[in-house]
Structures are given as structure tokens and as C-alpha cells.
């Protein structure tokens, strides 16, 4: 009779799984709370203590760490010496292990004290999982309740396949690695840090065709996006996803319907409006020259009208990313099969990942994302001339855009539309000049946002030449007094935010 050991903290699906195992003629072994749950459901259970002939001890710290359990998992069924030794020692095979670990992650989220965290460090669970995973040639290991259905389906058929057992084994190794990494990080106060990546997806290529690229999800998180359309035989590239990420992070700053056109991770045009269709049109119109091979991001569901505009105007769009697509929009997309469409499953909610990573100098840089929000109440007017309500609204709009442009970054905006963007320059005045060149006559009466303070008054002077009426910037330069004085001299309203928003 095949035997299964079930010992889980998450009881989801447990009873059904055990009942179906027994209907297939399996003996169920169990411990503690799992054993009680199964017995309460009327399922015959063999307590682990009956197998080991040794009681659970030390408050439950030792339950399954015994040769009759570990040997039953690790014995090689095709090795005569193992078979003979098992018979001599009275060890019977265990053919399936279902274990999910003590909820250390949940205890950590609850900010539990150290003693509670220690008691939520599982010892026997990882040992069972790793032992079963090591012996996947013969033993099925289940560490995720989401796998119960497909495991039991195979058990009810002809037994689990080697392919499935090996897949579940790698998942178990990943689970224990992620679990131990979090424990090490927690108890070392961050001196050690680790993370497990999963669901590796091969991309078309990296930044260039000669480079490979892959995308991974972080362990324990669901992928927040899905591909609605991509060209047959040409999956997403590294840059498609990198630009889509930048585009999405930008538009989700806004509550009003907002669209952005992105090139090389920088915005070429952004607009907010009463409708997402008009917002898209304005974001494209503001810089059509740059919007070639563009990434389009919408913070509302994509309607058919947006796709129709792309078709009618022959806009070369690489990717469209939105929190959803109307069915009519999906149908119209088929007329442009080279456009890649990404749906964000979590709408406008923040991304799950609380840390940004960058590999440098053979190591890794980590930081928390910039989630700062600047409101009218946080602005300090530093000039004699005060901005109007309309200018304040435009400055806050421009601030949310400049936050997502590469430094040094300058954004000109009017009526909640960017009219000129200069970014990624080594000199702030150069970025101002580029923004002014792109804006042309539209700069007159517009506002300007700067992602960092002005080291000199030259950018203010350049802005004034083109008719900028109000400026929003962090402040904090040793020459602030000169900068403020120049704004006063030129009749420009200026407000400071007190924070900078560099992006590299």
C-alpha cells in the first residue's frame, strides 16, 4: 500500500486531497494539527508516532525527524542494498510528501517579537521537502496547495509521472531556499539578503539582439501582467518590458484619465483629460516626431477608439499597456498584429515589489521605490508673484511627469499636457534648452518642472526666453537666493517641493 505523509500549516484543500488519496488505496500518515483536522473529517490517519514508536517532543519541535520517516522517503527503490537495509531496519517506503511550512512570512508581517519568529522557523518541514525532492525519482513532493489537483489527478490515473515529480522537486527546493533566505535576512538585520526568482520567461533578446534576456517573477508574488497580443514568433524583448514598466509607473501616478508615450524609458508626451481617448491623442500630438516605435501607456481600460486612432493615423506603436482592454479594442488590435498589448491585472494599485534592484560592480544595489506625493499644500512659494490655480494644477502635473524622466530632467506643460521634455542630459540648462526647442511657441505661458534644484540661475533665464510663466523645483541649492531673485526679476512664479526626484 503506498503511503503519504501530510503535515501542513495551510489546511486549504487538505481534506479533499486526503480523501481522494484514500479512495486510491493510500495510507495517510500525519502529525499534530493536520492529523486532528483529518480525523475530524472522518479520515483514517496513522499518527507519525505509531510509525516511529517515539513521541512528539519538545513542544512539537521534534515530530518527523526519525530514520523511519526520513529513511522511508530517501530509500532508493531500485537499489537492492537500500531495499535490504530498509527491511532490516523495519523501514517502509513513503511515496508522497505534502508539506507547507510554518508561516514565518506571516509572523514577520505581523511584526512579531523575536521569540515568536523563532518558533515559526520550520525545521522538519524543509527537511521533509528537501528529502522528497532529492528522491524525486520515486517520491512526489507537494509544497503548494495549488498543486493538489494535478497531483491527485495523476494519482487517480496511473500514478505521478517522473516529469511532474521533477517539476515539483525543483519547486520544493526553490521554496525552502526562499524561506531560508528570508529567515537569514530577518535575523541578520539585513546584513544578508536573498530572494528567489521563479517562472523564468525567455525574451526575444536583451538590450541588443546579440544579448539574451529573461524575465522572472519574485517568489511568492503573482505576475501582475499578462500578454493580450504579441506577434507570432516574436515574443516580448527586454526593452519592450523595461519601457512598458516605465510607462506604467508614470501613468499610475495620476487619478485623472492619463496617457503617456514612452521612448527609451523616457516620456515623449503625457496628457491628462476627461477621457482616456482624448488623453492619448494629446499625448501623441505633443511630440509626434519622438513617438515613433513608441510605448503607449493608459491608466484606464483601453477603448476601441484608441486603437482606431492608432490605425487611422498609422502610428508605429511597439507596445500598449493598460489595466484592461475592451473586447472591441482587442478585435481591432488584430488589424495591427505587430503591436504587443499588455494588460495590468492589478489596475491602478501599486506594484507588489517593495524594492528596486540594480546590479553594479559585481554586487547589487537595493532601494525602496520613490512613492513620494507632492500636493498643493506641500508647495512653498518663493517669489513675489504667486502662481494661479491653473498654474499650480499644471505644475503638479508636470512634477509627476518629471519624476519619471531621466535626470537631468525638465518638463514644460500647459493645460495638463506636456509641451516639451528635456531629459538625460549632463547639464540642467541643456535639458531646459531641449524642452524649449520641442515646445516652440507652446512654451509661452506654460509651466516648467525640474527634477532637482537649479545650481545656477541660467535655466531660469533660458526658460524666461521662451515665455515660461511658473516653475516648480525642489530647492536646496547653495545658490537658491540667486535663483529666486532671478525668477523675481523675470516675473516668473516659483514654488519649491522640498524633495528631489532624481532618476538614473
Give every CB contact of residue 123 below 8 A, 6+ residues apart in sequence: 61, 65
Catalytic residue, candidates 66, 109, 134, 309: 134
Q: Which residues pair with 472 in a beta bridge?
A: 449, 495
Q: In this structure, are strands 214-218 and 356-360 parallel, antiparallel, or unpaired?
A: unpaired
Q: Are 34 and 11 in contact (CB under 8 A)?
A: yes
d(CA 332, CA 316): 15
Q: Are 321 and 295 in contact (CB under 8 A)?
A: yes
**Of residues 179, 183, 195, 194, the one with CA closest to residue 143:** 179
Q: Which residues pair with 202 in a beta bridge?
A: 214
Please name the residue ranges forming H helices in 189-287. Answer: 238-251, 276-285
Q: Which residues pair with 493 in a beta bridge?
A: 470
Dihedral sign (CA 263, 269, 270, 273): negative
**Of residues 489, 492, 501, 438, the one with CA closest to residue 463:** 492
The answer to whether residue 264 is catalytic is: yes
Catalytic residue, candidates 66, 68, 158, 264: 264
Q: Are 437 and 413 in contact (CB under 8 A)?
A: no
Q: Are 453 and 474 in contact (CB under 8 A)?
A: yes
Cell 541578520: give the residue: 188
Give every CB contact of residue 243 below 8 A, 6+ residues apart in sequence: 262, 263, 264, 265, 295, 318, 319
Cell 501616478: give the residue: 253
Catalytic residues: 134, 264
Amino acid at each position: 500500500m503506498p503511503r503519504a505523509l501530510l503535515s501542513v500549516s495551510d489546511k486549504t484543500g487538505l481534506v479533499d486531497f486526503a480523501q481522494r488519496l484514500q479512495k486510491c488505496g493510500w495510507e495517510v500518515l500525519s502529525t499534530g494539527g493536520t492529523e486532528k483536522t483529518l480525523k475530524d473529517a472522518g479520515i483514517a490517519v496513522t499518527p507519525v508516532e505509531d510509525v516511529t514508536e517515539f513521541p512528539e517532543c519538545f513542544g512539537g519541535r521534534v515530530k518527523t525527524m526519525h530514520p523511519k520517516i526520513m529513511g522511508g522517503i530517501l530509500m532508493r527503490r531500485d537499489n537492492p542494498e537500500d531495499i535490504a537495509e530498509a527491511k532490516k531496519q523495519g523501514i517502509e517506503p513513503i511515496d508522497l510528501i505534502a508539506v507547507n511550512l510554518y508561516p514565518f512570512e506571516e509572523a514577520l508581517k505581523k511584526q512579531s517579537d523575536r521569540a515568536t519568529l523563532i518558533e515559526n522557523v520550520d525545521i522538519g518541514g524543509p527537511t521533509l521537502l528537501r528529502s522528497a525532492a532529492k528522491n524525486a525519482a520515486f517520491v512526489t513532493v507537494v509544497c503548494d496547495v495549488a498543486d493538489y489537483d494535478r497531483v491527485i489527478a495523476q494519482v487517480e490515473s496511473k500514478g505521478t509521472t517522473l516529469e511532474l515529480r521533477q517539476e515539483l522537486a525543483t519547486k520544493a527546493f526553490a521554496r525552502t531556499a526562499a524561506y531560508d533566505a528570508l529567515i537569514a535576512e530577518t535575523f541578520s538585520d539585513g546584513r544578508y539578503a536573498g530572494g528567489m526568482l521563479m517562472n523564468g520567461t525567455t525574451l526575444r533578446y536583451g538590450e541588443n539582439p546579440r544579448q539574451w534576456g529573461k524575465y522572472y517573477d519574485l517568489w511568492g508574488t503573482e505576475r501582475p501582467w499578462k500578454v493580450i497580443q504579441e506577434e507570432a514568433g516574436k515574443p516580448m524583448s527586454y526593452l519592450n518590458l523595461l519601457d512598458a514598466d516605465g510607462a506604467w509607473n508614470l501613468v499610475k501616478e495620476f487619478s485623472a484619465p492619463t496617457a503617456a508615450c514612452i521612448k527609451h524609458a523616457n516620456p515623449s508626451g503625457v496628457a491628462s483629460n476627461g477621457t482616456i481617448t482624448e488623453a492619448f491623442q494629446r499625448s501623441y500630438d505633443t511630440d509626434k516626431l519622438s513617438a515613433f516605435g513608441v510605448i503607449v501607456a493608459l491608466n484606464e481600460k483601453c477603448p476601441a477608439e484608441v486603437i482606431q486612432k492608432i490605425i487611422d493615423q498609422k502610428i508605429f506603436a511597439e507596445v500598449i499597456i493598460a489595466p484592461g482592454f475592451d473586447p472591441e479594442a482587442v478585435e481591432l488590435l488584430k488589424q495591427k498584429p505587430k503591436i504587443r498589448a499588455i494588460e495590468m491585472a492589478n489596475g491602478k494599485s501599486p506594484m507588489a515589489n517593495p524594492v528596486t534592484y540594480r546590479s553594479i560592480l559585481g554586487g547589487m544595489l537595493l532601494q525602496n521605490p520613490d512613492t513620494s506625493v507632492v500636493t498643493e499644500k506641500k508647495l512653498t512659494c518663493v517669489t513675489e508673484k504667486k502662481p494661479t490655480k491653473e498654474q499650480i494644477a499644471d505644475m503638479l502635473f508636470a512634477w509627476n511627469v518629471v519624476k519619471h524622466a531621466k535626470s537631468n530632467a525638465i518638463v514644460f506643460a500647459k493645460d495638463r499636457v506636456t509641451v516639451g521634455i528635456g531629459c538625460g542630459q549632463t547639464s540642467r540648462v541643456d535639458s531646459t534648452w531641449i524642452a524649449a526647442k520641442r515646445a516652440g511657441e507652446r512654451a509661452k505661458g506654460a509651466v516648467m518642472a525640474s527634477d532637482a534644484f537649479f545650481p545656477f540661475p541660467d535655466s531660469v533665464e533660458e526658460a524666461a526666453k521662451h515665455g515660461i510663466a511658473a516653475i516648480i523645483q525642489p530647492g536646496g541649492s547653495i545658490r537658491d537666493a540667486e535663483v529666486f531673485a532671478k525668477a523675481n526679476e523675470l516675473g516668473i512664479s516659483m514654488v519649491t517641493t522640498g524633495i528631489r526626484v532624481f532618476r538614473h
